[in-house]
């Protein structure tokens, strides 16, 4: 007798296929955008050998790279990622409005980043597509997610220290102590992440 899937199994499979199609659409959109940027950069670079291309310099700051890595890890490790995202102050831990919008969207749609994207925000759609592609390369590891979260916290404290130093009455000693504590937590999380991913 042939196996006949029940309704719930059929519905789950349909949902999985829809999600896969949305993610593939996002991935293709990210690839097209990257190719377009590469072409524009090649044109802006002036004349050169036909078979060579000057590598594009990333405009993302180190902080933005850390934030993007964290969001990609949240997608890769969605259960722990949802908790980690929920604990953050988006205005304090993310340095650009675009990344804050992405984090806010992922709080509601972490398991399906392509769902309910605002039609008037193509920049957000491209970023989420890139994050989905990046997440596909990540190894799901709770300790790696925690180390990424610690890096966000270190960057936030560093920004506070810079602001405090810019003020005449700024006292950085308490912030420095907090930074040292977070750095120890980061080192431990990173060691665990290395063990998990070996």
- If one compares 191 and 25, the residue with the highest pLDDT of the two is 191
pLDDT above 80 (res 128): yes
Q: How many CB atoms lie within 10 A of CB 46?
A: 7
Can you tell me the distance from the alpha carbon of 147 to that of 187, in angstroms, rounded to the nearest whole number?
8
CA–CA gap between residue 141 and residue 150 (Å, rounded): 14
User: pLDDT value at position 25?
Assistant: 57
Average pLDDT over residues 10-34: 57
Angle at 194 between CA 189 and CA 196, to 5 degrees: 90
Provide Rg for the chain, Cα atoms: 21
- For the chain, the first-to-last Cα distance in angstroms comes to 44
Helices (H) and strands (E) in the chain, counts: 8, 0
pLDDT reading at 44 higher than 60: no
Q: Residue 186, CB half-sphere, CA atoms under 13 Å: how many? A: 14
């Amino acid at each position: 007798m042939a196996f006949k899937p029940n309704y719930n199994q059929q519905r789950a499979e349909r949902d999985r296929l829809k999600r896969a199609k949305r993610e593939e659409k996002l991935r293709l959109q990210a690839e097209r955008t990257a190719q377009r940027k590469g072409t524009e950069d090649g044109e802006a670079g002036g004349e050169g050998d036909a078979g060579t291309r000057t590598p594009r310099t990333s405009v993302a700051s180190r902080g933005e790279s850390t934030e993007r890595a964290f969001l990609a890890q949240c997608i890769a490790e969605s259960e722990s990622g949802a908790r980690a995202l929920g604990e953050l102050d988006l205005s304090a831990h993310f340095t650009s409005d675009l990344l804050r919008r992405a984090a806010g969207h992922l709080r509601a749609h972490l398991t399906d980043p392509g769902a309910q994207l605002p039609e008037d925000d193509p920049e957000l759609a491209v970023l989420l597509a890139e994050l989905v592609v990046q997440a596909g390369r990540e190894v799901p590891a709770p300790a790696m997610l925690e180390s990424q979260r610690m890096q966000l916290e270190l960057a936030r404290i560093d920004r506070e220290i810079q602001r405090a130093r810019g003020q005449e009455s700024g006292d950085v000693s308490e912030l420095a102590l907090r930074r040292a504590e977070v750095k120890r937590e980061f080192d431990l999380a990173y060691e665990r992440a290395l063990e998990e991913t070996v």
